[in-house]
A and B are shown apart, each in its own frame.
Chain A
C-alpha cells in the first residue's frame, strides 16, 4: 500500500467535510474518489497532498507518517481543475519549474533539464509548444502541460483534482482515455477526484465513493456497479427508477403497496426495462408512453403505469423502439429485466425474474 489514511476527520466551522475516513490507496493503481459536490472528495485529496491539514487522523506515505509533512517534501504531483499554470512563464519554463527550484546539490544541469522537458512534452504530445505561453493553448493542452509539469519532479504519487472538469465534453472524453493509456505506460500511483460516475468507471482501477464526508463503498468499477452497497451508491452510479413495493406471500411483487411490514424498495436501471406491445409471459406491467427522445442509437422513453400512475423511465435500443412504432403507445407492457430490492433491514437482494 502506498498511501494509508487512518481515522481522518476534517471540519470547516460547522461543516463536517470528512469524518473518520479509513482508506488504503494501492500501489501503482489509478484510484478515483467519486462523489457529489460537498462529499469531501477534494478535501481528502488536498489532505493527501498536504495542502489542507486534517483535524484528526493520520496520513501514511509508503510506510512513513506524513501527516505533518509540508507539501513540497511529500513528492506528490498535483494537477488542478483550472490548470494553475504559471502564466508569465513559457511552457518550457512551466515544466522545468520543479527541477529548477531544487537545491543546487540535486538540481540537474540545464542540458539535463532541457532533455527531460522535451521528453515530457512528447509524452503529453505537445512537441513544438515549448516556447509558447499558457494563454496560447487550449484547455486540453493546458491540462496536459500541467500533467507534464507534475510528472517532471518524478512524484511518488500523482493527485488530480477534477482534471477534466473544465474541459468540453469531447476533449474530456479524449483526455480521460489518454490518461488511462498514459497510466498503463508509467504505472504511477494516482488518485483523481471526479463527480462524474462515467469518468470514474471508465478510467480507474479502483473507485472510492464518498458521500457527506464518509466512504460509502470501495471497489473495482465492476464491483461497485454490479454490487452497490447501498441505495446511495446505486443511485449515484446511474439513473434509476425507484419503486416502493410489497413482497407478496406467493413470491411476486405488488408495486402499488406503500404500507405493511413487507415494504421494500425496488431499484431498476432504465436500461433494465424493456417495452413490448404484448404481455407474452404475463409478468408485464401495463403502461402508456408519455414521451420519448432519440439519443443516437438508444431511445429514452417515459412511461406511466396504468394502475397507480407511476412514472417510469426506460432506455431502450433503437431497434426495440422501431418495433414499437406500429403498436398502440397507449397500452404497452413493461418488462423488468433486472432490479435490486432493498429491504428495510438494509440488505440487498436481486429481484428474481
Chain B
C-alpha cells in the first residue's frame, strides 16, 4: 500500500507514509468517526421521518435564519476585514501592534461573554442601543443582532487570510499600473482585488462556516423566538433537552451536508479564480 502510494505520488521527499498515516489517523479520530457516528445515529429515523423533520416549518425557518445571518455577516466582514487588513499592511501608525493583537480577541474570549456584552451595549438602555433608539432602530434581540454577533465572531478570519496576501503584493506591479495611467480605483479593482480575491473567498468561507455553527454568543443577543430568531444549533440543543436524540441528529446531519456543500462550492470557486490567474 505504502509502496503503491509512493509510486503514484512520485515524490522523493521522505516521510510520505508517516505523514499520510498520521493525517488519516488524526482525521479519523477527530473528524470522521464522530461525524460518522452522527450520520449513523440519524439513520435510526426512516427516510420519510428524516424528510418530515427537515421540512418542518420551524426547522426550515431556523435554517433560513442561520444560513442568511452567517452569509450576511461573512459578507459584511469581507468589507470590514479587508479594510482592517489594508490598514494594517499599508500604513505605519502609532499603536499598530496593539490593533494587530486586538484582531484575534474574538478567537480567545468566550463567545458567551461576547454575546452578553453585545446584548448589553445594543439593548434599549445600552450605550449604542440608546443612540440607535433615537433613529427608531432596535437591534438587540432581532435578526440583525444575530448578524452583529456573527460579524464580531467572524472578522478575524477575513483579516488573517487577506493580510499576508496583501503584504506579499508586489509594489512594482502597482507602480507599473500607475505609470500606465491607472488611478487608484482602477489599480484596486483591476490589479489588487483579483490578487486577493482567492484569499478573500477563503476568509469568507471560514467566517461563514464559523457563523453557521455559532451558538454561545447568539443565544444571549437573540430573542430566540421560533420561526423568527431561532438558529439551528439552538434548535438542536432544544431537541436534545427534550430527549429527541434522533431529531437532533437528523438536523445535525442536514447542517453537516449544508455546510459541506457550501464549503465545497467555495473551494471550486477558488480553484476557478486561481486558474484564471494562470499560476
Name A's B-contacting residues (CB within 8 A). 49, 51, 70-72, 74-78, 80, 82, 84-88, 90, 97-98, 101-102, 133-136, 146, 149-150, 152-153
Contacts and interface: CB of A to CB of B under 8 A. Distances in A.
B180 A134 contact: no
Nearest to A95: B180
Given A101-B186, A101-B190, A153-B180, A136 B175 contact: no
A98 B190 CA distance: 12
A72 B176 contact: no
Contacts of B182: 72, 97-98, 101
A78 B171 CA distance: 13
A68 B186 CA distance: 21
Contacts of B177: 86, 97, 101
A304 to B, nearest CB: 48
A44 to B, nearest CB: 16
Contact of B195 (A88, A134, A136, A150): A88
A84 B178 CA distance: 12
B277 A71 contact: no
24 contacts: A51-B175, A51-B178, A71-B175, A72-B181, A80-B172, A80-B175, A84-B173, A85-B176, A86-B190, A87-B195, A88-B195, A88-B276, A90-B278, A97-B177, A97-B180, A97-B182, A97-B190, A101-B177, A101-B181, A102-B181, A133-B278, A133-B279, A149-B176, A149-B180
A77 B190 CA distance: 19
A84 B277 contact: no
B148 to A, nearest CB: 35
B134 interface: no
Contact of B179 (A49, A85, A102, A134): A49
B179 A78 contact: yes
Interface residues of B, number: 21
A332 to B, nearest CB: 53
Contacts of B181: 72, 75, 98, 101-102, 153
Given A71-B178, A86-B176, A97-B182, 5 more contacts: A72-B178, A72-B183, A84-B172, A88-B276, A136-B278
Which 9 residue pairs are nearest across A and B when measured between Cβ atoms? A133-B278, A98-B180, A84-B172, A88-B277, A78-B179, A84-B176, A101-B182, A88-B194, A71-B178
Interface string B192-223: 00110000000000000000000000000000
A176 B204 CA distance: 47
A97 B190 CA distance: 9
B201 to A, nearest CB: 14
Contacts, number: 79
Contact of B180 (A82, A101, A133): A101
Given A84-B170, A84-B172, A86-B173, A77 B278 contact: no
A136 B275 CA distance: 13
Interface in B255-279: 276-279
Given A97-B190, A133-B278, A82 B172 contact: yes
Nearest to B180: A98
B191 interface: yes
Contacts of A86: 173, 176-177, 190-191
B165 to A, nearest CB: 13
Given A87-B278, A88-B278, A135-B279, A71 B179 contact: yes
Contacts of A149: 176, 180
B101 to A, nearest CB: 27
B3 to A, nearest CB: 34
A49 B170 CA distance: 18
A71 B176 CA distance: 10
Contact of A134 (B170, B172, B183, B278): B278
Nearest to A133: B278
A291 B140 CA distance: 88
Given A84-B170, A84-B173, A86-B191, A135 B278 contact: yes
Contacts of A98: 180-182
B175 A84 contact: yes
A136 B277 CA distance: 11
B178, B194, B195, B279 — which one has the most chain A CB atoms within 10 A of its CB?
A: B178
A75 B178 CA distance: 10
A327 to B, nearest CB: 55
Given A101-B186, A153-B181, A78 B278 contact: no
